[in-house]
Amino acid sequence: MHKEFLMGNAAIARGAIAAGLNLVCGYPGTPSTEVLETAAKANDGSLYVEWSVNEKAALELGAGAAYCGARSMVTMKQVGLNVASDPLMSLAYIGVKGGMVILVADDPGPISSQTEQDTRTFAAYSKLPCFDPTSVQEAYDMISEAFAYSERYHTPVLFRPTTRICHGYASVTVKDTEEYLHNQPEGFVRDPSKWVIFPRLSYQAHISIEARNAALSQVFSEYPHNELRPASETGCRKGIATQGISYTYAMEALEGKPAPAVLKIATPFPFPEQLAVEFLQNLDEVLCIEELDPVIERELIYVCGKYHLNVTVRGKLTHDVRNAGENTCASAAHDIAEFMGWALPESAKADAAPALPVRPPVLCAGCPHRASFYAVKQAMKGKKSVFCGDIGCYTLGNAMPLDMVDTCLCMGAGVNITQGIGKIEPDTNCFAFVGDSTFFASAITGAVNAVYNQANMTLVILDNSTTAMTGHQPHPGTGRTMMGEIVEKVSIEAVLRGVGVKTVETVNPLDLQAAIDCVKRVSAESGVKAIIFKSPCAVLIKPEKPAVIDPEKCTQCGRCIKSLGCPGIVRKDGKAAIEQALCTGCGLCAQVCPFHAISAGGEG
C-alpha cells in the first residue's frame, strides 16, 4: 500500500487494474472520460483498451470479453447508457462469466450534459446491482468489490460516480503492483443454452434475477460501505439518509454538532432493506439528501409502508430538498439546519458587488467550425433554411453572432431531425451539422435513412480530425487507436458514398469563398448531399503568426467582430485589435474584412 494524489476517475481505473482488469472500452463523455485514458496510460501491455465507436458497441464488446471469463469494464457518461441500453437490458438476463463493471458517470447540474437522468434509477429498471461511491478513496476500494460481486453473481454491475467524485482529487491509499490480482480468462465455452437469448430462457432468467436481487438486498445490508451511524445523543429521533458526494456535504454540515442518525447508501440497488429498517425503527423523521432522483427517499417510504413504521420521510418529493440540480456544501448545510431546527447558516453577503464580467464558453480563436458555420450562413442568406446541430464543440455555434444551431437533441439526432422538418416543410433548405466523431458514433444510420427515404437535405460534416470536446480522443477517422497502433483511417467520404450519397464535396472552411461557393452549389442539388468541412482542431496544430490589422485601412466598421465573434479580435480604444496570445492566424477575419485591412499571419 502507498499513497497517491489521484483524480477520482484515475482512482477508478487504477482500482480496476489492481482487480485484474483484462479489457476496458467505452466512448468519451464528461465526466467519465479520464477513466479509460488513465487505464491506457497505465497499461503495461497486459490490458486491452479501446475507444469504441459508441457506447452500444463498447458494451457489447465488454460483454463478449466477460463471456470468456475476462474482467471487463465499459465506461460512459449517463446519456451514453441510453445508447447502450439495448444490449444492457438483454445482458442483464444472459449474465456474464468474468466480472463486468459498467461505469456510468452521472452529471448533476447538469454541468455538461443534456439530461439529469439518474443511473441508480436505470439500475432498478434493468435489475442490475449498482455501486455509488461517496469519495475518491471509496471509489478506489469499491471498484474491486464491484468486480467480485459481478463474478460471484454472474451479472454485470453498474458503478455510478457523479462529477464531483469523477473529477475530485484526493490523496488515496492504493495497492502496490505486487498486490494486484491477475485474472487469466478461461476463454469462450460454447453453450447455446446459456449465451443465446430466447423467450423461454428469459422467463427462467427473470425468476432467478428476482431471487438474486432479494438475496443481494440482504447481503448489501451487511456491506461495509453501506453504513448506519447512530445519533450522537440518545433520544434524538431524527435521521439523515444520503449517498455519493452529498454524504460528505452532510458530514461537513454535522461537524461539531449533536448529530442525528446517518444512513449512507452505497448500493442503491438492490436496496439494503434490513439496514434501512434498523435505521428507521428508532426514528420519527428522516431527511433524504441525494443526487439526482429521490431513489433513497422512495425506498424508505416503501420500507416504512412494508414494515408499518410511522416515520415521516422528507426530501425531494416533499420539497424539503431541491428536486433538480447539484447539491452543494451550502445546500446540504441549509437543508439539514432547517430539518434539525438549527439556526440557518448565514450566507456571505454580497454587499453591492460590482457587476461581474460574464465568461461564457465560446468556440476557440481559429476554430474551423466558426468558418464552416459562417460559410453556410453566408451561402444561405435570404433562403428559408433550418440548421440542425448536434453534440460537440460545435454546439457552441449557437452563440451570437453566428447563431447557427436551431436544434440540438442528442448524439446523431440532427441528421434525422432535419429529415422530419423537411417532410413537413418541403420548401425549407434542411441542413444537419455533425462532427467527425459523432458521425461515426451515431449519424451513419441517419445518413442511410435519408438516402433510403428520399430525404432532401444537406449533411455537413465538421471534420476536425479529433473528438475535441472531451479532450481530443482518437476515433475511426484518425487512424490511431488506444493501443498505440497506427491503422488505416475510415474515410467519411467513402462511407457516405458507400451508403448512396452521390454528391460528397470536401472543402477547407478557412478558404472562405471556396466554402461559400461549395455550399451554394451542393445545397442546390436535390436529394441527400454532403459537404465535408475538413480542417484540424485549432488546439492541436501549431498556430501561425497572428493576423495584423493595418490601421490605415481599418475604418472601424466592426464587421470582423460582429460577424465572427472570434475571441482573437478585441476592441481596444474603440478599434479592432488582434489579441496576440489567442490569434492562431487562421485568416478568416482577413477574408471577411471588406477593406482588406487585415492580413493573415503566415507561418509562425
Binding interface with other proteins (CB under 8 A): 3-5, 30-31, 111-112, 135-136, 164, 167-171, 245, 248-249, 251-252, 255, 328-330, 333, 345-348, 350-351, 353-354, 356-362, 364, 400-401, 469-471, 561-562, 565, 567, 569-571, 576, 581-582
**C-beta closer to other proteins: residue 357 or 382:** 357
CB of 47 to other proteins, least distance (A): 25
Q: Give yes or no for a contact between 312 and 341, defined as CB atoms under 8 angstroms apart.
A: no
**C-beta closer to other proteins: residue 258 or 401:** 401
CB of 422 to other proteins, least distance (A): 31
CB of 414 to other proteins, least distance (A): 19
Written as nine digits, the cell of 424 is 413537413
**CA angle centred on 532, ends 529 and 537, rounded to 5°:** 155
**C-beta closer to other proteins: residue 419 or 470:** 470
CB of 251 to other proteins, least distance (A): 4
**C-beta closer to other proteins: residue 105 or 507:** 105
**C-beta closer to other proteins: residue 311 or 396:** 396
Q: Give yes or no for a contact between 544 and 536, defined as CB atoms under 8 angstroms apart.
A: no
Helix H or strand E segment including 132:
none
Written as nine digits, the cell of 528 is 441527400
Q: What is the DSSP letter of 106?
A: B
Q: Give yes or no for a contact between 330 and 336, defined as CB atoms under 8 angstroms apart.
A: no
CB of 7 to other proteins, least distance (A): 9
CB of 212 to other proteins, least distance (A): 34
Written as nine digits, the cell of 237 is 429521533
Distance between CA atoms of residues 203 and 432, nearest Å: 43
Distance between CA atoms of residues 57 and 26, nearest Å: 8
Q: Is 366 left (phi over 0), alpha (psi -120 to 50) or beta?
A: left
Number of neighbours of residue 80 by Cβ within 10 angstroms? 27
Q: Tell the residue number behind the cell numbers 418529493, with chain if given.
A: 317
Number of neighbours of residue 598 by Cβ within 10 angstroms? 22
Per-residue exposure over 312-323, b if at least 16 CB sit within 10 Å of its own CB, e if not: ebbbbeeebbee
Number of H helices, E strands in the chain: 22, 22
CB of 136 to other proteins, least distance (A): 8
DSSP, residue by residue, 546-573: PPEE-TTT-----HHHHHH--TTEEEET
Q: Per this entry, what is the length of the chain?
A: 604
Distance between CA atoms of residues 78 and 60, nearest Å: 17
**C-beta closer to other proteins: residue 361 or 420:** 361
Q: Give yes or no for a contact between 102 and 72, defined as CB atoms under 8 angstroms apart.
A: no
CB of 537 to other proteins, least distance (A): 12
CB of 217 to other proteins, least distance (A): 28
Q: How far is CA 163 from CA 9, 130, 136, 229, 324, in A?
A: 9, 17, 11, 26, 15
Written as nine digits, the cell of 28 is 468519451
CB of 13 to other proteins, least distance (A): 16
- DSSP-derived 3-state class of residue 185: coil
CB of 277 to other proteins, least distance (A): 27
**C-beta closer to other proteins: residue 471 or 602:** 471
**C-beta closer to other proteins: residue 304 or 364:** 364
Question: Burial level of 329, CB count in 10 A (0-12/13-18/19+)?
Answer: middle
CB of 323 to other proteins, least distance (A): 21
Q: Among 534, 541, 551, 513, which residue's Cα sits nearest to residue 365?
A: 541
**C-beta closer to other proteins: residue 3 or 237:** 3
**C-beta closer to other proteins: residue 168 or 474:** 168
**C-beta closer to other proteins: residue 333 or 375:** 333
**C-beta closer to other proteins: residue 165 or 507:** 165
